[in-house]
Homo-oligomer: A and B are copies of this chain.
């Protein structure tokens, strides 16, 4: 069998690791694929590890033991995080985004892979150390972002629905009160969707008073599961008295200014 040279191995191993965030890959996978000794592959991985460190592109972690191996863990530098938040504020401030009712039209942003992959990286990096079992969101606008976070963390995505569908089997429905408009809403989740005892994070596009997040907390209780973190793209700071205290956001929104543009700034 043909020997593969170091450059080629490094390119291939980098691709495999990057495409499987937070998944432990046994070194045997690489020794077999590249017909190389374990020590050789370990040296390749050291190069990749040092490269990611050097350019603040994430981490390679080594897991010891029989079921061990290496995994890629995403990370974003402070500078990249701040640059992204600034860029996002600039996009959200575009004048033609204001629609009747003084809402910001942001659907295109939430469905733009270029933006969502970076927003997902910011949020996933913040929850890397929480050892979560799944990422929860409520349909619809936050789904691509929540999916991106679940992929970066290598865990299952769970989507709570507004309605119930026959294709979901037995579902649990709960009522909750939105924090800002005090309306009663319903959310439902299939019994099969979540294992008992799951550690979850809630990811959404926008947080006002936090009524939806509080609804999620109550929904998770029905599944003997619990929330260990909340991350949103945009936080409305004009709505006071949040029902939820502990969360992170990428940008803060403070209403529409007198000049007709949205007031926004990076969260930290």
Binding site for B on A (CB under 8 A): 6-8, 10-12, 14-15, 18-19, 23, 33, 47-48, 50-52, 54-55, 57, 99-101, 103, 105-108, 111-114, 116-117, 139-141, 143-144, 147-148, 150-151, 154-159, 161, 166-169, 190, 192-193
Contact = CB atoms under 8 A, between A and B. Distances in A.
Q: Could you say how many copies of this chain the assembly holds?
A: 2
Given A11-B48, A139-B139, 17 more contacts: A7-B7, A7-B47, A8-B47, A11-B51, A14-B14, A99-B168, A100-B166, A105-B192, A106-B167, A107-B192, A108-B156, A111-B150, A113-B147, A113-B154, A139-B140, A141-B167, A147-B148
Given A139-B139, A147-B147, A192-B107, A47 B117 contact: no
A10 B10 contact: yes
Contact of A19 (B18, B100, B105, B108): B18
A144 B120 CA distance: 13
Nearest to A57: B15
Nearest to A147: B144
Contacts of A112: 156-157
A111 B12 contact: no
B11 A47 contact: yes
